[in-house]
Chain A
Amino acid sequence: MFRSKTKILQLTVTLTACAFLLVPTILSVLAGVTANYFQGISSGFTLKWVFRVWELYSGSIFLSLWLAIACLISTLVIGLPAAYGLARHPGWLSRILEEFISLPLAVPGLALALALLQLYGSLKGFRASWTFILVGHVLYTLPFMVRSILSVLAAMDLRTLEEGAATLGASPWQRFRDIVVPNAMPGILAGALTVVTLSIGEFNLTWMLHTPYLKTLPVGLADSYASMRLEVASAYTLVFFVLIVPLLMAMQWASARAQRIAQ
């Protein structure tokens, strides 16, 4: 079916790009389960590197999961009412606020981390606790949560639905609970999966904000790349893939669903 020259050229480019993206990933997975990567696959497969990673880094994996959950809760508590407020109160002020909280999407994490460090770095108790990293993660993931919910809310006639509920006797809070939240669910789900995925993979901010006693998964990865043998680094990367790939697929599914609803 790919007869014309253009099609063949397009296919070649596509396949080359796929190979470029896939081959190193496969190498990494293989290296993580190979007994000795220098000797090649012939040295046999083993899970000992994965166990070694578990011994060395399980703490960082749990810290990342814990941070992701805390980040999800924080972005929900802040982002869900905020998205509703922005949807119900459109105007230049809301636009500016939305634009402002989206800054962390554009401004590199390094710059944000420097800013946070300089303002709060001297508060030792805060600086040294996991909540300092959490602030960075919330800062970075919050706009995704807000926008994901906002796009779903903006697509429905929220105002009339709420008026309908109001004529039936529902107070503002009851309307929020019974009408807004259930109908925003696709956006909340997509936003939640995005927040968790991004939080688990966040490095730029975290690297600057972390302390030696608080290493997240990606910080641990950087650490292993710098100081561990290749097999251990690969095994650790493999653990990360196992965690992040299902999340990514769920996130893409949920986002596509939310977008369909928002259209």
Chain B
Amino acid sequence: MSNRQFVLACLTPLFIFSLAFLALPLVRLFLASGEGESGWAIYLDILRKPRYLNTLWLTVVVSISVTLAALAISTTAGMFLSRNQFRGRGVLLSIMTLPLAFPGVVIGFLIILLGGRQGLINQITPGHVVFAYSVIGLFLGYLYFSIPRVLLTVMAAAEKLDPALEEAARTLGASPYRVVVDVILPGLMPSLIAAGAIAFATAMGAFGTAFTLATNIDVLPMVIYTEFTLSANIAMASALSIVLGIVTWALLLIARSLSGTTVAAGG
């Protein structure tokens, strides 16, 4: 019995910490969302008021585009890197996983260096080509963020894929294209769905990148931030946070049940 008590004692600090700084604050956040003028109808307001509805739409559209682009690029690169051994492979892999540690703010700055007013593209192309502060900039920033994460998930799955399956398909007369469609993609599918969900969820909640780009584009995290700091509309900021939190949490739950791993989402 004393062993059981010891094990329970081990869980106590975690329990206290997560109660005080996670459970209770989240309850407070939820209660705060109902303390505005419109009460709990605030959740209906999100769907009724064009400002919030448009924000939701834009955020979802940008996130989906980023997800699809990141999946296409990272799956291609990931399969290439895991199926071929050549000199420089390690360097390419390092380059592609290095941005894992870059927070959103830094990525925003890198996009400015690429497509801002003093950016590389503007300098080397004739005319005025500035895209950093538009939806394109935001899209590229999120893509920068997602490529390494999706790549790692895909490569981990590709390594677990039994090469004998591909060889078996070959011996049965399948063309390289058919091998991809019939063997590789189905094998990778759970991981692709998981990686896609991660990319989508992080794009939905990314704040740092949008903040640095200082865009006037109303994506959800920016709207939450301005509602809270500028408009002091705490109820709406809370309600939007709750909606955002539930969406990203549900997506990552699905992702994890499919792949069994979580790649660092934040930053």
Contact = CB atoms under 8 A, between A and B. Distances in A.
Given a CB threshold of 8 Å, the question of whether A touches B is answered with: yes
Interface of A: 1-2, 4, 6-7, 9-11, 13-15, 17-18, 20-25, 27-28, 31, 37-38, 77-79, 81-82, 84-86, 88-89, 97, 100-112, 114-116, 118-120, 135, 138-140, 142, 144, 146-147, 166, 172-173, 176, 194, 197-198, 201-204, 207, 218, 221-222, 225-226, 230, 233-234, 237, 240, 244-245, 247-249, 251-252
The secondary structure that dominates the A interface is helix
A16 B81 CA distance: 14
B253 interface: yes
Nearest to A223: B105
20 contacts: A10-B77, A10-B79, A18-B92, A25-B99, A28-B109, A81-B9, A82-B11, A84-B7, A85-B8, A106-B201, A106-B248, A106-B252, A108-B206, A110-B221, A198-B267, A203-B104, A203-B105, A221-B105, A222-B105, A244-B102
A82 B15 CA distance: 9
Interface string B227-267: 01000001001100110110011011100000000101111
A31 B267 contact: no
Contacts of B176: 4, 6
| Interface band, chain B | 35 or more
Given A103-B249, A106-B253, A218-B103, A204 B266 contact: yes
A231 to B, nearest CB: 10
B11 A115 contact: no
A116 B244 CA distance: 16
Nearest to A100: B18
Contacts of B252: 105-106
A236 B3 CA distance: 51
10 A-B pairs with least C-beta separation: A108-B205, A111-B241, A24-B110, A82-B14, A115-B25, A81-B10, A85-B10, A172-B6, A115-B29, A85-B11
